[in-house]
Amino acid sequence: MVDPTPLAVPETALTLSGLTVAYAGMAAVEDASARFPVGTMTAIIGPNGAGKSTLLKAALGLIPAVAGEVRAFGKPVAASLGRIAYVPQRAAVDWDFPARVIDVVRMGQYRQTGLLGRLTPGLKAQAMDCLARLGMEDFAQRQIGALSGGQQQRVFLARALAQGGDLIILDEPFTGVDAATEAAIIGVLHALRAQGRTIIAVHHDLSTVPAYFDRVLLMNRRVIAEGTTATTFRRATVAQAYGDGLLSAIPA
Amino acid sequence: MTDALLQALLFQAGYNAALVSLGAALLGLAAGAVGAFTTLRRRALTSDAMAHATLPGIGIAFLLMTAAGGDGRSLPILLVGAGLSAVLGLVLLQRLTDTTRLTEDTATGAILSSFYGAGVVLLTVIQNLSIGRPAGLEGFLLGSTAGMLRADALLIAGGGAVILGLLALLRRPLAMTAFDPAHARLMGVNTRAADMALLLLTLACVLLGLRVVGLILIVALLITPALTARLWSNRIGVVALLAGAIGAVAGHVGAALSFALPDLPTGPAIVLITFTAFLASVLLAPGRGVIARALARVRLARGLRKGGARA
């Protein structure tokens, strides 16, 4: 079979075309189209219930889409999953699960180890290195339930680092974490961007958008605006998603 | 009685008894280890429904065998009937939760009780028909090692070994699916297949345990060792091994007890042993145990008081 669609321009890490997702007959995401260029860092912003997490999950094929197409690195997203790392919301898992910090990070190495593959010294060192990049190497043997929220978030990011993905998708990485963790995470993400990786994150704190992100996708069920932070993150545009009111912090 | 128990425990109560005890231990090992994953994936109640759903199948298999002229006591055929009936129960459970507004626990309760009720009716009919030799059938309710054949014990032991082998093979995808199914899927794990495999391994434990523990209490051999082991370890691999060890001891001692006290069904004996292990662990386990936590509180309070005095 020849793929009928021509290869997308390789500079795009992720392309959404007309993505629509419905829960119980209600559209949660409607006709969303967007492209995320390689080497950029995009904030997905919008009010609660705007469908931000849903958009990401549908893009990754975790929940079914009613319509639309998603391509990653020019291929259907299912064929590119090996290059994508996903960091779910912290609350998505049971932190009382019997696993140590290092065990969770090693789950990010499943593509290398497979069903029975041994954890080679190289892989073990790599897992420790991922923890060290987030300042968590001293916690490797700790049970994950004994961690603070911020530490849990760092472990999740370390697991994503262990995957070595070219596209890192994070669902609310800064929710409920302290300033030190936020700084550690943003440091790692900016370093990844500097290496040419692409980052997409659902973000809630509008005041940090210009400092952290170079692109913005503003949505409220539909995509309202998409583009560089400088051109898109404007009071008039953001008000379309959030309504007027407490937006004095945003440049007019 | 104590002599008989000691002999059974030391595998000195005769060849058959030793074989049955060994079979029960291997069953406990498999069920404990599988149960560690079953409980972490939150399928404990499902496994109980599955166990109760085996009963109509046992009755039907017995009726078919007697209709074909046998005495209806072939364990493998009874287990095939039990397995088919349990699978039917699982499929119906899935349908109920998918197509109605029933929540999963409600649907599970509905399936569990209706299948069990149907099974009891079937068994009563069989007793009244006075065909074949139905005397052993009620042993499937609470477990009985009396009248167990050498072939039955070998079937249980062999099945347990196969289950353990498969579990060792699948441990990584099973653990990843239990911890974070979305992430597991994105890592290339077929989580639907992993869940199906876990259900089948659980079903296999249930079927092998029918004769020894009985369908009413087999769930305890899946759950209690796992809960107990969880108190002692924070690593899923260790939890599974420990749970298996606890299950093995419980299986062996339970079978021995049932030899020593011929009227004691094996199921309750095994369950009481696992529960004793659980209680002891709740008290004694380091870190999570009641005593350890009380000591830690005392130490903390003393430290605070000392600090306060200095200030």
Mean model confidence pLDDT for chain B: 89
Task: Give helix B44-52 / helix B218-232 axis angle, nearest 10°.
Answer: 160
Min distance B214 CA to chain A CA atoms (Å): 30
The answer, yes or no, to whether residue B200 has pLDDT greater than 60, is: yes
**Domain enclosing residue B180, as ranges:** 2-310
The answer, yes or no, to whether residue A190 has pLDDT greater than 60, is: yes
CB contact under 8 A, A110 and B234: no
Q: What is the pLDDT of residue A3?
A: 56
Task: Give the least confident one: B40-54, B71-85, B137-151, B274-288.
Answer: B137-151
| Span A146-170, average pLDDT | 94
**Nearest CB partner across the interface for B239, out of A93, A98, A104:** A98
| Span B190-209, average pLDDT | 95
For chain B, how many structural domains are there in total? 1
User: How many CA atoms lie within 13 Å of A81's alpha carbon, on the beta-carbon side?
Assistant: 18
Q: What is the pLDDT of residues B219-276, one digit of tens each?
A: 999 999 999 999 999 999 999 999 999 999 999 998 888 888 878 888 888 889 999 9
> B199 — phi, psi (to 5°)?
-65, -40
Q: What is the pLDDT of residues A76-123, one digit of tens each?
A: 999 999 999 999 998 889 999 999 999 999 999 999 887 777 788 889
Closest-CA residue of A relative to B232 is A98
Chain A hits for B184, Cβ within 8 Å: 107, 110
Q: What is the pLDDT of residue B305?
A: 83
Q: What is the pLDDT of residue A8?
A: 47
Mean model confidence pLDDT for chain A: 89
Would you call B10 an interface residue with chain A, using a CB distance cutoff of 8 Å? no
Residue of A60, A80, A93 best to disrupt the B interface, most CBs of B under 10 A: A93
Using 50, 70 and 90 to split pLDDT, how confident is the model at B139? confident
> A172 — phi, psi (to 5°)?
50, 60
Q: Evaluate whether A101 touches A155 at the Cβ level (below 8 Å).
A: yes
Q: What is the pLDDT of residue B98?
A: 87
Instruction: Please report where in the chains the tokens 């209690």 appear, as a residue.
Output: B224
Distance CA B48, CA A113 (A): 34
Chain A hits for B40, Cβ within 8 Å: 97-98
Task: Give the least confident one: A39-43, B2-6, B157-161.
Answer: B2-6
Percent of chain B exceeding pLDDT 70 equals 96
Distance CA A176, CA A179 (A): 10
ipTM score assigned to the predicted complex: 0.87
> How many Cβ pairs closer than 8 A exist between chain A and B?
71
Q: In what order do the strands lie in the sheet with A84-87?
A: A84-87, A167-170, A198-202, A41-45, A215-220, A222-228
Would you call A4 an interface residue with chain B, using a CB distance cutoff of 8 Å? no
- Domains along chain A? 12-242 (3.40.50.300)
Q: What is the pLDDT of residues A235-252, one digit of tens each?
A: 888 888 887 665 566 766
Using 50, 70 and 90 to split pLDDT, how confident is the model at B311? very low
Using 50, 70 and 90 to split pLDDT, how confident is the model at A176? confident
Closest CA to A109 of A85, A134, A87: A85
Would you call B192 an interface residue with chain A, using a CB distance cutoff of 8 Å? no
**Nearest CB partner across the interface for B180, out of A57, A93, A116:** A93
| Span B161-174, average pLDDT | 95
Report the predicted TM-score, pTM, of the whole model to 2 decimal places: 0.88
Residue of B176, B183, B185, B192 best to disrupt the A interface, most CBs of A under 10 A: B183
CA distances from B292 to A74, A142, A200, B230, B233 (A): 56, 18, 45, 15, 14
Q: Evaluate whether A30 touches A203 at the Cβ level (below 8 Å).
A: no
Closest-CA residue of A relative to B36 is A98
List the beta bridge partners of residue A84: A167
Closest CA to B263 of B148, B143, B153: B143
CB contact under 8 A, B186 and A97: no
Interface of A with B in 45-64 (CB under 8 A): 57, 60-62
Residue of B43, B180, B238 best to disrupt the A interface, most CBs of A under 10 A: B180
The answer, yes or no, to whether residue A6 has pLDDT greater than 60, is: no
CATH number at residue B15: 1.10.3470.10
Q: What is the pLDDT of residue B1?
A: 63
Give a three-class secondary structure readout of chain A.
CCCCCCCCCCCEEEEEEEEEEEECCEEEEEEEEEEEECCCEEEEECCCCCCHHHHHHHHCCCCCCCEEEEEECCEEHHHHHHHEEEECCHHHCCCCCCCEHHHHHHHCCHHHHCCCCCCCHHHHHHHHHHHHHCCCHHHCCCEHHHCCHHHHHHHHHHHHHHHCCCEEEECCCCCCCCHHHHHHHHHHHHHHHHCCCEEEEECCCHHHHHHHCCEEEEEECEEEEEEEHHHHCCHHHHHHHHCCCCCCCCCC
CB contact under 8 A, B235 and A103: yes
| Span B25-48, average pLDDT | 94
Closest CA to A233 of A42, A18, A14, A39: A42
Percent of chain A exceeding pLDDT 70 equals 92
